[in-house]
Structure 1
Amino acid sequence: MSIFNLKEQFAFYGSYHHDHRNMWVHIVFVPAILWSFWVMASLLGPLPGVSMDGCLAQTLRHLGFEPHLPFFMLVLYVLYYLVLDFVAATLYLPFLLTFYYTSTSLAATHPHALAIGAGVHIVSWMAQFYSHAVWEKRAPALTDNLSQALLMAPLFVFIEILFMLGYRPRFQAEVEALIESRLQQFQAAARSPTKSAKQ
């Protein structure tokens, strides 16, 4: 499954987030995980090998950025999302920039930024694991596709919101058909050990 195949990737993600309650948990807490990670990562300072007196650092600072991990993650997310879905990525860009500036600003100014970032991060992960266990009755997608959980989930929860607003209905129908197929395969696989045990 190519990381640039939006339909297949979204269907895989959707098969783990089919229950509407779990979906809303992720809509709230996936951005919270990204934001809180950027808070903590900002506290580490610039990436190794990046001189604060160098041209790169000076240029980034002039543009309102810092040469740390959150900035390079932001660039990666934006470029990757633009390839996956240009319109959705463009609509999501203001949110990503808001996450970036608020998280890095908190890290730079608040004396308890680490505690806040760590607290939000832990609570957000706990909420997602709980919702998977209780409502989806299966492990989170990160156990099968770590890159999707870390890289694609923020865009996917945003596209879920866009779907609610009528975005790309044909694409949504195609994805939902794939999700239903994946769910049937999962349910069949879950039943088969029980049948074997009875035999």
Structure 2
Amino acid sequence: MMMSKGIGMFDLEKHYSFYGAYHTNPMNVLVHTLLVWPNVFAALLFLYAAPPILDPSKLGLFGGVLRLDVGLIHALIHAILYVRMDKKSGALAALLCFSCWVGSSFLAAQIGVSLAMKVGVAAQVVCWAGQFLAHGLFEKRSPGMEDNTVHAYLMGPFYLLLQVLQFVGYEPYPGFNKRVDSQIEVEIKKCTEKQQLKKVK
């Protein structure tokens, strides 16, 4: 029996096929797999420089290193979205989000906020540049960010985790892979038509 898919912003098939249409080349997918999650870590490292929402000394967690801050909210938004789209793989993605937050918090506290900010920015530049280059060299087309920046940023880490899990035979529900493969073909056709219209103009 097929599980029902999510609705609207929690529609896993829709989000997966949109992102998948921009990542069909194996080398491009590999580059993204190597760079997207480190980019999440780097973003959280950078966000540690923002003032905490709640004074860390009042929390008393690990000497005030773990605190209620923008980084935690960032990780929480991603985690909730992923779990709502698929409980099993979403729970693993949520765990990775919070692991990145914890790890980046401790690293930032260790090296100092100023250096953490610089390292976070530098790492993001490298990660983003690598992904854009991979699109140009291997995919031969612009990334999904050009059409939907928020969607691409939110969905990227989860899509790549699902890609890895598919190698070991995981499916969110029976028939998922077949359905999204079909939808990806439709999305690719839409993108191709859009690019052709741009050339005409």
TM-score bin, normalised by smaller chain = 0.7 to 0.9
Q: Which of 166, 170, 173 pairs up with 2:169? A: 166
Go from structure 1 to structure 2 and tell me whether the alpha carbon gap of 1:43 and 1:190 turns closer, same or farther (over 3 Å shift).
closer
What is the match of residue 107 of structure 1? 108
Structure 1 gap segments, 5+ residues each: none
Q: CA deviation at 1:87?
A: 0.7
What is the match of residue 150 of structure 1? 153
What is the match of residue 89 of structure 1? 90
Contact kept, 8 Å, 2:42 with 2:120, in 1: the verdict is yes
Return the letter of the residue paired with 1:96. C
Which moved further from structure 2: 60-69 or 14-23?
A: 60-69
Q: Quick check: 1:46 aligned with 2:52? A: yes
Q: How many residues are paired up?
A: 191
Q: CA deviation at 1:185?
A: 3.2
Distance in 2 (CA, whole Å) between partners of 1:18 and 1:174 is 16
Superimposed CA distance per residue, residues 101-141 of structure 1 (whole angstroms, 9 cap, x where no aligned partner): 11111111114322321221100000011011111121111
Q: SS at the partner of 2:47? A: helix
Return the letter of the residue paired with 2:70. L
Go from structure 1 to structure 2 and tell me whether the alpha carbon gap of 1:63 and 1:158 turns closer, same or farther (over 3 Å shift).
farther
Query: Percent same amino acid among aligned pairs?
Result: 24
What is the match of residue 15 of structure 1? 21
Contact kept, 8 Å, 1:106 with 1:113, in 2: the verdict is yes
Contact kept, 8 Å, 1:43 with 1:108, in 2: the verdict is no
Q: Which of 135, 140, 150 pairs up with 2:138? A: 135
Distance in 1 (CA, whole Å) between partners of 2:181 and 2:154 is 21
Go from structure 1 to structure 2 and tell me whether the alpha carbon gap of 1:9 and 1:100 turns closer, same or farther (over 3 Å shift).
same
Return the letter of the residue paired with 1:23. V
Contact kept, 8 Å, 1:15 with 1:179, in 2: the verdict is yes
Which moved further from structure 2: 95-104 or 152-161?
A: 95-104
Structure 2 gap segments, 5+ residues each: 1-6
Q: TM-score, normalised by structure 2?
A: 0.84
Return the letter of the residue paired with 1:137. K
Q: CA deviation at 1:170?
A: 1.9
Q: Quick check: 1:71 aligned with 2:41? A: no
Q: TM-score, normalised by structure 1?
A: 0.85
Distance in 1 (CA, whole Å) between partners of 2:97 and 2:36 is 12
Distance in 2 (CA, whole Å) between partners of 1:193 and 1:30 is 29
